[in-house]
Structures are given as C-alpha cells and as structure tokens.
A and B are shown apart, each in its own frame.
Chain A
Amino acid sequence: MHRERYMGVSVERVLREVLRRELSDDPEALRLAEEILQAYVTGGRRGVKQLVEAMLEGEPRAGAAEEGGD
C-alpha cells in the first residue's frame, strides 16, 4: 500500500535535530514533539489531530520512546 508522506525525509531529520536541541531541558515536551512529528509525517494534520484526541481521551501512547531514537 502506498503511504503518503507529509514531510520530506530530510526535513524530518533536520527538524528532529532542532527539536532535540530546542527542548533538551524539557524531556516531556520533547517526547510529545517527537510524537507529533511522527504523527504528522505519516498522517499529516489529521494524524496530529488523532494523536491529540487520543491524548485527550487519555489513551496510552505506544511507541513514543522508540521513535525518539531516530
């Protein structure tokens, strides 16, 4: 199945690095930023909305930690 990307691979890499730098003193916000970034890359605006809705519902967020190590 073709899966659309909502952000270029190179930009994603750069953005990850910038975010790590910017949020180095706030690991919780950094984890959230990485989750949002991942959701956006794979699902775009809708992906982020779904992620935040799930967070509002208090659903467990699986996979956030693993994705942080890219």
Chain B
Amino acid sequence: MPVLLKRVEIEGFRYFAQKVSLELDQGLTVIAGPVGSGKSSLLSAVSYALYGMEPGLRRRFYAKSDLINARRDKARIEVVLKHGDSVLSIVREISREHKEYAKLVLPDGRVVRGSGAVREYVESLLGLDFEEFYRTVHLSFATLLLLAYGTPEARSRVLDRLLGLDSVAGLVKSIPVRRVESELEKLRGLLSAAEENLRKLELQYESTSKELARLRSQRDELLGKLSAIKVELEKLEGAKNEFEKLQASIAEVSQILQKLKQKIGKGGFDEYTLASLADDLKHRLLRAAELLPVPASVKEKLEKVDPASMNLKRVYEALKEAHSAIVDEFDRGLREVEAGKAVEVNECELRLKQVEEMLVNLEVQVREFEDLSERRERILSEVGSEDKLRSEISKLEREYERLKELVLEGRAAGILRRRIVEELRLRGETRCPVCGSELDKSSVEKLEPRIRESAAEQESELRSKEEKIQRLKRVLSELQEIKARLIELEEPVSRYEELESLREKLSKECEEVREELERARQEYKAIEFQLSRAGNLLLQLREGVEKLDAAREIESLEKTLEDKRLQLEQLLPQKRRYDELERQFRDLREQLRGIEAKIEALESMPLKQQLEEAEREYRELSENLKRVENLRKNLLAVRKAMLRALADLREERVRKISDTMNLLLKSIYPYSDIEEVKLEVEEVRGLRSTFKVAVKVGGEWTTFTARLSDGQKTVVILALLTSIFKLLPHNVGFMLLDEPLPNVDERVKLTYMQNIFKTAGVDQVVITTQAERLAEALPEARVVRTMELVSSAGQTP
C-alpha cells in the first residue's frame, strides 16, 4: 500500500509564524496563492518533516536556522501519514540554538526518536531517499528548469543519479581489486621468503639432529668406558689403599727414625763405657754417704750395685735412687747446719748490731764532751784559772768606774768651754761661771782645741775598758756553762765506754761462731761437689742408657722400614695402574661433561620451535594467499556482475523511461506537435553515461533543446522525471508539485492537472499555483488558499 499524506501542521517554519494546519485527502489538492504567500513553504515543510532536509537546504541556498520564521525562536512541523489503515505521525523541531528534535510515532504507539532514525525509517517506508524524493516526488519548477536548460553533462549527471547508475558505477569503482592484487603480490613475496626460511630451518634442524645423534653416541661410548674403568678401579682400590697406608707408615717410621737419630747425635755410648761411668758414680755416692749420716740400708744397697754384671738400666735406677736418698740427706743436714750455726751467728750479729747502734746514738754526746773539754782547756790556757779571771774582771770594773767619772767631768768642762767660746765669739769677753775668771777673745784659741781633745780620749778609753770587761765576763760565763755541761755529759760518756767494751767482746764471739759455720759449710760444699759430680754422672748415665735403647730401637725400626719398602715395591705396579686409570677416568669424565654441555646447548636451541613457527607461518601465509586469491576471484566476479548489472540497468531503465515518457507526454500535453520522445544513451565512457533526450517533431528526430520552446522543454523534463518516479520501485502514493509549469499556457496546465493521477499512477497530488482561477476550473480538486490559511491562524499576511 502506498503511503499518503493525511495532515500537515506547521508553526514557525519559513513563511508561517503561527500555527497552521492542513488536512489532506486523496486526490488533487491545489495550494493557490500569490507570490510569497507560503505555498512552497508548505511543500518544503513536508519534505523537511520526512527527511530533515528540503530542496533549498540541499542546494545550500540557506542554512537550517533560516528555516525558522524570523519572528519565532523555533520551528515545528508535524506530518501525519496514512499507510493503508494505519496512521504514522512525524514531528520535527529546530531551534535557533541548533537543537533538533525528531519523533516518529508508529501505528502501534512505538516511538522512533532522533533525526537520523526517523529519516532511516522514512527511507525504508517510502523506498526513496531524499535525493530520489526531491527529484521525483517533490518536483519544483527550479528542478525542471535546471534539467531543461542545463548542459548535457549536467543533465546526464542528474539522470545518472536519478536512475541510480552513478551509485552503481561508484560501487563498481569502489571495489579495490588493485589493492587486493597488491596484497597478493606482497603475500606471494612473504610466502616465498617464508618458504626459503622454512627450508633453511629444516636443513639446520636436520644438521643439528645429526650432530645431536653423534654427540649422544659419543656420550654413550664414554659412559661405557667410564663404567669399565670404574669396575677396574674398584678392584684395585684395596691394593691402592694398602699402598697408601704403607707409604704413610713409612713416612711416619722415617720421621721417628730421624728423631731417634737426632737424639743419639754423633757421639754414642757403648755398654763398657756406661758400666765404667756407673762404677765411678757408685764410688762418688759412697764417698758422699760416708760424710753424711745416711741410713745404712742405703749404703748397703749402693754397695750391692755391680755395673759390670747388672743390666745398665737397673743400675741406673738403683744409682738414681741412692743419689736421691743421699741428696735428701745432704739437704736435710745442710738445713740443720743453717738452722743451728747460722742462727747463732745471726743472733750474735744482731746483738752486736744493737750495741753498735747504741754506741752510734751516744757518739754525739761523747763528741760534745770531748769538744767541750778541749775548749775549756784552751780557755784556761789563755786566762789561767777561773779565780784569776774573776779578780781581773773586778779590777777592770773598778778602773772603769773611775774613768767614767773622769769622762763626766771632761764632758762638763767641755760644755763650759764651748759656752765660754760661744760667749767670747759673741761678746768678745766673758766670765767663767765656775771659777769666775775673766776671759777675752784670746782665750778662744786656747780653749777651742781643748774642748774636743779631752772628751775623745777619755770616752775612747772608757769604751775600751767596757769592752774588755764584757769580753772577760763572756769568757767567764762560757767557762761556767762548759763546766755545767761537762758534768751533764759525764754519764753518757761513761755508758759509751762500757758499750765499747761490750762491742769488742761481742765482735769476738760472732767471729768465732761465723768461723764454725764457715767450716761446716765448707764440709757440705765438698759433699755437694761430690753429689753434683755424681748428679752429672747420673745424667750422663741416663742419657747413655736412653741412647743405648734408642740405638736398639733404630735398629728394629730400620728393619721394619725395609720390610715395608719391600711390600711397597710389590704393590707399586698396581698403584701405578690405579693412578693411570684414575687419570683416564678424570679425562673421560671431563670429555663427557663437554659433550653433555654441547648436547644441552643443542637441545636447548629453539630450532624446533622456530621450525614449527616457520611452518605455521608458511601455512598461515599459504592460507592467506589462498584466501586473498579467492577474494580476488570473487571480487572480479562481483565486479563483472555489477558491471553487467550497471549495463542492464542502464539499458532497461532507458528503455522503460522512453516508453513511459511517450505515454505521459500524450496524456499531459494536449498538442500533437511533439510526435514522439525518447531517452538515449549517447555514449558510455568508462562507467559514466551521457544521455540524450530526443524528440520527434515533424517526422524528424532532434535533440529536445534544439527545436522545442521553453514550455515544451519543461513539459518534456516533467514527463521524464515523472517517468522516473513511475519507474523507481517505491511506496510513495503522492506527488508534491511546486509550481511545475509556470511557463505554459492554461490548457497545458489544466491537461496536466487533470491527467497527472492517471499518468503518474498516484492517489494524491499536492500542487501549488498562483493561478487561483484555473484551480477553480477543476471541480474534483480541493483548493486551499494560503491567504485564508494564514488569516485563519491569526497571522498577518
């Protein structure tokens, strides 16, 4: 069932600021009105509602926002479609903010939203896309004019487009056969390289496998050899261990021998010398034992020792025992002497020392006593006796007193004379206050020297007497002091003399005791010498005995050593064989390690993986090549089929259009001057065709542009487009004709309007025209005047 228009509702779209609504029935609807009254806007609204596109936008005469009425911010169009008994509603809105809204409500209430989704649904429903729609359903004079007056190339392009040939040609051209062939070439190259790589890897793998097999065989051979050597080594191991044990033992014995030989040194002892030495020792010990209070048992034992007949070791033991006992006795005796006489000497010396210390302590007082006695004697030798000294002092004291009086007198006479001299010097004369004598200046010379003379002499004498008295008194005093002190010192001096006597006595006693001690010590020293000598002999004897033992041991060890060396000699070939085998074993094991390392390295080589990878790559490339070859084959087949389809389509459509155009022309064109019309393919260049529209006028075929008037040309193009509309498989039951024939006479217009249903095979036609009167001449047509439509919506025209 074809789709028809049921209602169109417009608000804010192009001419229509206010909301207008137009119900559309089947049959012819003529939209009549003067220029600029919104006729084209009505048809444009239908186109925009269906596809979101309209002819002016398609040709870029204006932008989408220009579709909005200048007085409104948005445009809204609703178109209701009738599809059989079902009704579909499409709403589209556009705003000045470039927001678009589209909705399609399906008969079952489902809603399709979004501009693209709605358009796709409409394309599917109508079976036409916008390009086809506006070239065949929504026809305008502008479209017709472009085709009628355009260049043949432009016309051909439009026809190519309308017949769908350009897209088929484009489709054929889009098949990238060359690209696939180039890929094929590339794949062939890759496959060849992969094949070569695979071959190389196979060779490498084969060579590696052979090398591995060779190495594994070598390894097995070596393992066999090693096993055999191991068995032989195990057999020889006992002999080898025995050999090594003997070697170690020989080394040990040799070391012991060396030590023993070092011990013996160069000098050796024979048994006779040692027996003689032991005999000497025995006699020395006996002599020492005679001098000491040694127990009789010791002496008896000693006497029984016979170095000539006894074992020397036993002799040494017996002599050592005796020497020890005698030395003990010597030590004990010496200790006793030291403890007796030496103590006595010490005590005596101690006493002597005490006396001497006491003497030393008294020596100071004795010395003082002697010094004082000597002093006293010396003083007495100077002054005589003590009494004589006392009488001398008394005499001098008396002389001193007398002289002292004279000095006093002299001093008074001097003072008098000085005063008289001073008076005389002042007055020239005076009187002596003592004697009353008259004196004059002449007396000065006499008196003046006497003043000084008399005083000095007397005073000097007085001082001399005084000093002498003092000196004698000091001597007397000293004598008295010495006498007193000597009396004090008499007792210590007496004690000193006693001690001195005691010291001499003690000294003699000590000397005697010391001499006794020294004598005892000398005796012990002589014994000690004997014992020391005996000790040395004992050491020599011990050394000799030991060396004698060592020499015997050396002899034994050398024999043992010789036996062992003999055994070693016997084991040597087995040992050598063992060493040789062991060396071989080591070498073979080393070789085995090397081979195993090589095997491991070869085994770990990723050759197999690489080979598998290369095989896989080769397989994949082969498959790819096959696939791409197949693709190429199919593409070529497709291309060929499409080319055939293009040619068939072109031929078929051109033929059908030509037939339809003649039928149409006869029904819509009321005159007979155009006898026939046809569409021809003038040239096919590559995939593009050049079309020619030819007309037969006056029995002659000519290009329609050459002989026809403008109106006739428009009619022919209208017939051509209507033919295409008829030819195209679609589901559209209406046509929108926007002033299709403005340049023809009214008869042509009328004929066209009356017959368009029949010729185009549609149920509904909406046509716009300025010729309102003509519309009224069509009784079956419904006339809608745009001015009334606008006025009823409240819009000012």
Contact = CB atoms under 8 A, between A and B. Distances in A.
Contacts of A56: 179-180, 183, 628, 631
A2 B116 contact: yes
A52 B115 CA distance: 30
B128 A10 contact: yes
B52 A2 contact: yes
Interface in B162-181: 163-164, 167-168, 170-171, 173-176, 179-180
A58 B624 contact: yes
A19 B638 CA distance: 8
Interface string B518-559: 000000000000000000000000000000000000000000
A40 B641 contact: no
Interface stretch (B17-25, B499-507, B643-651): B643-651
A67 to B, nearest CB: 14
Contacts of A19: 638, 641-642, 645
B131 A22 contact: no
A11 B642 CA distance: 12
A28 B173 CA distance: 20
B650 to A, nearest CB: 11
A21 to B, nearest CB: 8
A68 interface: no
B698 to A, nearest CB: 37
Contacts of B115: 1-2
A47 B633 CA distance: 20
Nearest to A13: B729
A66 to B, nearest CB: 16
Interface of A, secondary structure class, is: helix
Interface of B, secondary structure class, is: helix
Contact of B638 (A9, A36, A47): A36
A10 B127 contact: yes
Contacts of B123: 5, 9
Contact of B164 (A14, A29, A44, A47): A14
B595 interface: no
B638 A23 contact: yes
Contact of A3 (B116, B128, B171, B174): B116
Given A10-B729, A49-B174, A49-B176, A55 B637 contact: no
11 contacts: A1-B115, A7-B164, A8-B128, A9-B127, A9-B129, A9-B132, A28-B634, A40-B170, A49-B179, A52-B175, A56-B628
Closest 8 CB pairs of A and B: A11-B164, A18-B645, A7-B167, A29-B637, A48-B174, A22-B641, A45-B174, A33-B638
Given A5-B129, A12-B164, A44-B170, 14 more contacts: A9-B730, A10-B730, A11-B167, A15-B642, A19-B638, A19-B641, A23-B638, A26-B634, A29-B637, A29-B641, A36-B638, A45-B174, A55-B631, A56-B631
